[in-house]
Structure 1
Amino acid sequence: MRIARFAAGGDPQFGIVELAEDGGRHPGTVSVLTGDPIAMPVQLTGERQELAAVRLLAPVIPRSKVVGVGRNYAAHAAELGNEVPTTPLTFYKPNTSVVGPGDAIVYPRASHEVSFEGELAVVIGRICKEVPESRAAEVIFGYTVANDVTARDLQKSDGQWARAKGSDTFCPLGPWITTHQSLDEVADLSIRTTLDGDLRQDGRTSAMVNSIPALIAYISSYTTLLPGDVILTGTPEGVGAMLPGQQVSIEIEGIGTLTNHVTSDADDHADSTRDPEATS
C-alpha cells in the first residue's frame, strides 16, 4: 500500500495511491483518508482524486525528529576517505529541513558545495524505546525515499554536521510511504540517483553495514522513537555536488521516485513551496 500526503486546493490530506502496476480498478488515483494514518485510526472517505491533479507533499509530518546514519555503506565511506565506524554514526536533521517531492533544494548562502545522497528512509509507527532487533518490524510503519542533502564544504569546516545536514530544505522525502513490506523485502533493493538524467549512484540496500533492525535497536537505545519519526539509513557510493538549475531524482526499487530541483533563490522558495504543516 502507498500512503501519500497531498494538497488539492485546500488543506493537506492523506490518501491511498493506486498505480497502474497494482492492477486495480482506479489506476492513477488517490483515495482520500479521514486523517493521519500514522497518528490515528483512519477510514476511506469515498472521495477519489486524480494523482496527476494533486500536489504531493512530504508524506510524513515530522513532529519530532529525523535521525540520519552516516557511513553505513563501506564504499561511500571510502570514497570520502573515511573509515567505517565501529558503531552506527548518527545525527539529527531538524523538521524544518523536510520538504516534499517537486520542492526546491535551496543552497544556503554560506555554502558553495551542496551534495545529493540518495537513501532508503524508515518511518516509525509507534512510540518505542530499547527495541530489540528481533522486534524491529513491529515499530515500522513503512518506507519512503530520502535525499540526505549535505553542504560538503560546511561539513568539512564546522567539525560537526548541524549546518551541513540540517539547513532548510535539506531533507526531501517522498513521494509516498509504502507499507506492508517485510524487512526481508527491503533488505536488497536498488537505489539509483540521477542528476539531470545522468546516473550518479547505483547501489543496493544489501550493502548496508548495519541493517535496519540493528539501526532501530541502536537508535532506540538512547532516544525514544515516536510515530512519524524518520530514520535515514545511509547512502551508497557515488555522491556528488548539485548546482542551482539542476534536477536530482532518487529511485528506490518498489518504493518510488523522489525528484527535486536545486535553486539558490531562498526567497522564492519560502514564498512558493514551503509546506504549511512541515513544522507542526
Structure 2
Amino acid sequence: MKLLSFVRDGQEALGILTEQGVVDIGRIGSKLDMMDAIAGGKDTLAELKRLIADTDPDTLSEACLEPSALEWGPCVPRPNKIICVGLNYRKHAEETNAPIPEYPILFNKFNNTLTGHLRTIAIPKATSRLDYEAELAVVIGRTAKDVPREEALQHVFGYACVNDLSARDLQMRTNQWLLGKSCDGFCPLGPYLVTADEAGNPNELAIKAIVNGEVRQSSNTSDMVFGVDEIVSYISQHMTLVPGDVILTGTPEGVVLGLPPERQVYLQHGDEVTIEIEKLGALTNRFVKE
C-alpha cells in the first residue's frame, strides 16, 4: 500500500494511492491521519483496505484526487525522531576518502527539516555548498528495544525516498555535522510511504539522484555497509525506537562533495532534484534562493 500526507483546507490529511487516483480517506468516513496509520500497523492497514473495498463506487470516485492537484506534505509528518546514518555506502566512503565505518555513524535532523514532494526549498543564505543525497528512509512501525538483527525488519512499517540535503561548508565547519544537516527544508520525504510488504527486500533496491534531468547518483542499497536490519537492530540497542521514527540510511556515490574540486558545482537557484528508488516512486523538489 502507498500512503501519503497532503494538505486539505489547511489541515494535514491522509491519502492512499489507488489505480483510480489518490483516495482522500477523510471523504469516505475515516478520521485517521498518517501517524495513526503507522501506529495502528497491520490492523489499521486492513481496516483501510476494507473501507476502500466497501465504499460505494460513486462515493469512492468523488473522494479520488489527481496526484498532480495535491499540495504534498512529508509522508511522515510528525516523527518522534529523525536518525541519520553517515558514510553507509562503500563507494561513497571511498569517493570522499573516508574509511569504511566499523559501526554505524549516527547523527540527527529535526522536524523543521521536513517537507514534501514538489515543495520548493530555499537555499539558505548561510551556505554556498548545498549538496543532494539520495537515501532510503526507513519508518518504524513497532516499538523496538534491543531487537536482534533477525527480527529487526518486523519492526519496520515501510519505506520512502528522502533527500538528505547537506550544506557542506556548514557541515565541515566543526567536527559535528548537525548544522549542515538541519536547516529548514533539508529533509524532503516522500512522495509515498510504501508499506514493507510492497517494498520487499530493502537491501536490494535501485536508487538514483537526478539533477536537472542528469543522473548524478545511480546505485543499489546492496552497497550499504550496514543493511536496514543491522541499522534498526544497532540503534535499538542504544535508544528505544517508536512508531513513526524515521531512519535515513546513507547515500551512495555521486554527490557533489565526491567530485574533483574543479567539477564541484553545488545546487543553485532554479535547480530541480529528483530522488528515485525502486518500488518507492520519485521525490522531486525545486530550489530557490532564500
Report the CA distance between 1:11 and its aligned residue.
1.7
**Does the alignment pair 1:242 with 2:262?**
no
Aligned partner (choices 39, 53, 64) of residue 49 of structure 1: 64
**What secondary structure is seen at the aligned counterpart in 1 of 2:218?**
strand
**Does the alignment pair 1:84 with 2:100?**
yes
TM-score (norm 2): 0.84
Task: Tell me what 2:76 maps to.
Answer: 60
**What secondary structure is seen at the aligned counterpart in 1 of 2:153?**
helix
Instruction: State the distance in 1 between where 2:32 and 2:236 align.
Output: 27
Task: Tell me what 1:264 maps to.
Answer: 289
Residue type of the alignment partner of 2:280: I
- Report the count of equivalent residues: 258
Instruction: State the distance in 1 between where 2:153 and 2:235 align.
Output: 14
**What secondary structure is seen at the aligned counterpart in 2 of 1:112?**
coil
Instruction: State the distance in 2 between where 1:249 and 1:63 align.
Output: 23
Task: Tell me what 2:15 maps to.
Answer: 15
Residue type of the alignment partner of 1:124: I
Q: Do 1:100 and 1:174's aligned partners in 2 also have CA atoms closer than 8 Å?
A: yes
Task: Tell me what 1:173 maps to.
Answer: 189
Q: Do 2:199 and 2:280's aligned partners in 1 also have CA atoms closer than 8 Å?
A: no
Report the CA distance between 1:147 and its aligned residue.
0.3
Q: Do 2:116 and 2:191's aligned partners in 1 also have CA atoms closer than 8 Å?
A: yes
Instruction: State the distance in 1 between where 2:31 and 2:71 align.
Output: 18
Instruction: State the distance in 1 between where 2:125 and 2:140 align.
Output: 33
**Does the alignment pair 1:220 with 2:236?**
yes
Counterpart mapping for 1:138-153 below 5 A: 138-153=154-169
Task: Tell me what 2:23 maps to.
Answer: 30
Instruction: State the distance in 2 between where 1:62 and 1:164 align.
Output: 21
Report the CA distance between 1:10 and its aligned residue.
4.2
The share of aligned pairs that are identical, in percent, is: 39
Task: Tell me what 2:149 maps to.
Answer: 133
Report the CA distance between 1:72 and its aligned residue.
0.5
Query: Would you tell me which structure has more helix in proportion to its own residues?
Result: 2
Report the CA distance between 1:181 and its aligned residue.
2.7
Task: Tell me what 1:22 maps to.
Answer: none
Larger-Rg structure = 2
Report the CA distance between 1:182 and its aligned residue.
7.0
**Does the alignment pair 1:230 with 2:223?**
no
RMSD over equivalenced CA pairs, Å: 1.7
Task: Tell me what 2:139 maps to.
Answer: 123
Q: Do 1:137 and 1:182's aligned partners in 2 also have CA atoms closer than 8 Å?
A: no
**What secondary structure is seen at the aligned counterpart in 2 of 1:226?**
coil
- Give the gaps of 5 or more residues in structure 2: 257-265
Deviates more, 1:209-218 or 1:37-46: 37-46
- Give the gaps of 5 or more residues in structure 1: 20-25, 266-280
Task: Tell me what 1:252 maps to.
Answer: 277
Instruction: State the distance in 2 between where 1:97 and 1:89 align.
Output: 20
